[in-house]
Amino acid sequence: MFDRDKWQEILGTIRQNKLRTGLTAAGVFWGIFMLIFMMGMGDGLEKGVLNEFGGRSTNSLYIWPQKTSLAYKGMPSGRWTAFDIDDINALHQHAPYIDILAPRHVTNNVIASYKTESNNFDVRGEWKGIFKVESLLCQKGRVLNQKDEDEQRKVAVIGKTVQEEIFGNINPIGKYITVKGIQFQVVGVVVFEGESRRLQEAEEVIFIPLSTSLKLFGNGKDISWFVCTIEGEIRISDVEDQIIQFLKARHRISPEDQQAVGCFNLEKEYRKLTGLFSGIRWFLWVVGIGTLMAGVVSVSNVMLITVKDRTREIGVRKALGATPWSVISMILLESVFITTLSGYIGLLFGTMLISTINFFVSGVNMDEQMFMNPEVNLTISVWSLIVLIISGLLAGLLPALHAAKINPVEALRSD
């Protein structure tokens, strides 16, 4: 029940010791404020860094040919290898656990035009799976399909930027775009589904069927590189070496040659970063709670001083029949009140500051944004309040027990 007299007494004690109570509350305020601020800023940094992965499948492996560094089976070192469509088909048969295999043939900096408008873009010969791997969303028309590949059709899917620079406000679907003197019918427009500025470069690309690209702009077989993804419980890191050794065997490359096959394991990099930020979160919790505990210790010290100052008063209470619990509850209530109130204000100010930073960061348009959308997790806020209440109880427990043990006769004799 609400004890009005007890609350009036607590508030009266606080008013009589404004400076002492204010300094004590400031320590708790600063502790919870710094905890919320650091967790929010850590969240923004994590989002900014992991945003560079975009919406791509993180369980994926990118592979490309490089120069050999070791002689092997009569083949000299320093030779360039080349992967081709036969390698892709053989790999599909050898590794049925692979979900998507997406080879690419790139023709860089090609002039593309429609009527009087023209500009330079990269032309990529692709299989249909690449749109899923790189999180490209079809905005108009359709993406490339198997029939386009099988029939070597002269069709193109263009990025949003290509549409804006070549076609302007004209609907490009069904129109013909000229690439190196060859006309391709535009069948779709794609946009990048994520927020990474770097990965939005895919919107500046013209996508055509891989078979068409190899026939018109390549030698009919060799590809630039490919990406493979795995769905389910298998990690790409577990089969990475198996895939690479299979390719080395096909091209008479030494199994010990570490330079002949280039690769980028997106899953491995993603796990490194998530593990790093997990460690950072724990570190911030330790620092934040440590700062908060410093404030709580100051509350406990102040309550001890309060008990000492009110020794005679407590003695009178006990002499008049006050129970030990009534004395303990009064001290505990004052401690919890100071801790919770100051901590809640710190929580409120920390949340407001993170929200303000989020507002300004959201309006910044940077090519490589490594910090974005900091937020205060609701779970963190709830646990912070729980920690505050428990801390208030612990801070007042020792002074309360000390007050309960005061001998009324000795208390009345004290100065």
DSSP 8-state code for residue 174: T
When pLDDT is averaged across residues 203-221 and rounded to a whole number, the result is 90
Q: How many helices and strands (H and E) does the chain possess?
A: 13, 10
Residue 335 has pLDDT above 80, yes or no: no
Which H or E run includes 140? strand 136-141
When pLDDT is averaged across residues 79-105 and rounded to a whole number, the result is 88
- pLDDT given at position 163: 93
- Rounded Cα gap, residues 78 and 128, in angstroms: 34
DSSP 8-state code for residue 327: H
Which amino acid type is present at position 82?
A
Q: Is the dihedral of CA 152, 153, 154, 155 positive or negative?
A: negative
Residue pair 214/127 in contact by the 8 Å Cβ criterion:
no
pLDDT in tens, 9-51: 667 667 776 777 777 778 778 878 888 888 888 888 777 776 6
pLDDT in tens, 123-132: 999 988 888 8
Q: Beta partners for 113? A: 118, 178
3-state secondary structure of 78: coil
- Rounded Cα gap, residues 248 and 66, in angstroms: 11
CA distances from 6 to 3, 196, 329, 336, 341 (A): 5, 58, 10, 14, 17
Residue 294 has pLDDT above 90, yes or no: no
Which amino acid type is present at position 178?
T
Global pTM value: 0.67
- Rounded Cα gap, residues 285 and 413, in angstroms: 47
Residue pair 53/195 in contact by the 8 Å Cβ criterion:
no
Q: What is the mean pLDDT of the chain?
A: 80
Indicate the pLDDT class of residue 414, thresholds 50, 70 and 90.
Answer: low
- pLDDT given at position 200: 59
- pLDDT given at position 3: 62
3-state secondary structure of 239: helix
pLDDT in tens, 41-53: 888 877 777 666 6
- pLDDT given at position 1: 45
Indicate the pLDDT class of residue 320, thresholds 50, 70 and 90.
Answer: low
Give the CA count within 13 Å in the CB-facing half-sphere of 96: 0
Name the residue ranges covered by the structural domains of the chain. 4-53+271-413, 60-269
Q: Is the dihedral of CA 83, 85, 90, 92 positive or negative?
A: positive
State both tokens at 61: 């492996």
Bigger pLDDT: 309 or 332? 332
- Rounded Cα gap, residues 80 and 68, in angstroms: 6
Q: Is the dihedral of CA 367, 195, 365, 347 positive or negative?
A: negative
